[in-house]
């Protein structure tokens, strides 16, 4: 069997968990928007404004993205506006019709409230990105608190993030579940000692389901409504 099609089942009981930390992009929202924006739309605009071919622009930008991957700069819209000479927040608004909530997310958030859990949105997304996405979706009111990595001063891939988040939110890490679509983030949280970890196997509707080989996974959150 292909390892990417083998699902490690989530076997926890909700009685073991008090707090749920949920990522946003790829976990609750379709990552197709972000992939399209950074890999197709921004290179197209950058090419036009700098008299480059589409291929030249895409290659140059992907190299720049990779140089700051897993850091706060990667998601900082002000940083990229300055670096690229483009108004990145304005460009995001031009394609914000592509921002979509994954199926069953609202059902899952309502279920968590019904069973009395504390639920926080914890994202690497820049505050300007967060504002755009909360305006386009109905997910905001479902959270006890929403935390951007810039508030913490570290990206979620960095172990210091979780230590500072715990001080801020006062959760018991042994009774906390983190759901995220990024393996590096899950690994960072694992090193910190997070009690329960869950990989989201379908971050983008345009890509096939890919189950983690290291963590329990779900393709859709209705798998956790019990």
pTM: 0.95
Quote the Cα angle for 187-188-189, to 5°.
90
Q: Which helix (H) or strand (E) holds 11?
A: none
One DSSP character per residue, 117-172 reads -EEEEEE-S-HHHHHHHHHHSS-GGG-SEEEEHHHHTS-TTSHHHHHHHHHHH---
Nearest-CA neighbor of 185 among 156, 209, 151, 215? 156
The domain ranges of the chain are 3-30+101-224, 33-97
Per-residue pLDDT of the chain (226 residues; tens, 9 = 90+): 455 679 999 999 999 999 999 999 999 999 999 999 999 999 999 999 999 999 999 999 999 999 999 889 999 999 999 999 999 999 999 999 999 999 999 999 999 999 999 999 999 999 999 999 999 998 999 999 999 999 999 999 999 999 999 999 999 999 999 999 999 999 999 999 999 999 999 999 999 999 999 999 999 999 999 8
The torsion angles phi and psi of 31, rounded to 5 degrees, stand at: -75, -5
Number of H-type helices and E-type strands within the chain: 11, 6
How far apart are the C-alpha atoms of 171 and 70, rounded to whole Å?
A: 24
Fold observed for domain 3-30+101-224:
Rossmann fold (3.40.50)
SS3 112: helix
């Amino acid at each position: 069997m292909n390892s990417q099609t083998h699902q490690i089942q989530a076997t926890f009981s909700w009685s073991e968990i008090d707090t749920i930390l949920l990522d946003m992009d790829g976990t609750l929202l379709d990552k197709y928007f972000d992939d399209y924006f950074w890999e197709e739309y921004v290179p197209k605009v950058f090419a036009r404004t700098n008299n480059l071919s589409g291929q030249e622009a895409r290659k140059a930008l992907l190299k720049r993205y990779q140089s700051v991957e897993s850091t706060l700069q990667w998601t900082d819209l002000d940083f990229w506006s300055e670096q690229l000479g483009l108004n990145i927040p304005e460009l995001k608004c031009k394609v914000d019709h592509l921002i979509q909530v994954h199926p069953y997310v609202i059902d899952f958030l309502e279920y968590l409230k019904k069973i009395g859990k504390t639920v926080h949105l914890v994202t690497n997304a820049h505050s300007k990105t967060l504002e755009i996405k909360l305006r386009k979706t109905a997910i905001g009111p479902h959270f006890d608190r929403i935390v951007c990595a810039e508030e913490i001063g570290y990206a979620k891939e960095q172990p210091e993030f979780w230590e500072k988040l715990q001080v801020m939110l006062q959760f018991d890490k042994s009774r906390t579940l983190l759901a995220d679509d990024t393996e590096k983030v899950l690994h960072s949280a694992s090193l910190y000692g997070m009690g329960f970890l869950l990989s989201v196997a379908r971050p983008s509707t345009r890509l096939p389901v890919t189950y983690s080989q290291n963590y329990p996974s779900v393709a859709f959150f209705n798998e956790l409504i019990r």
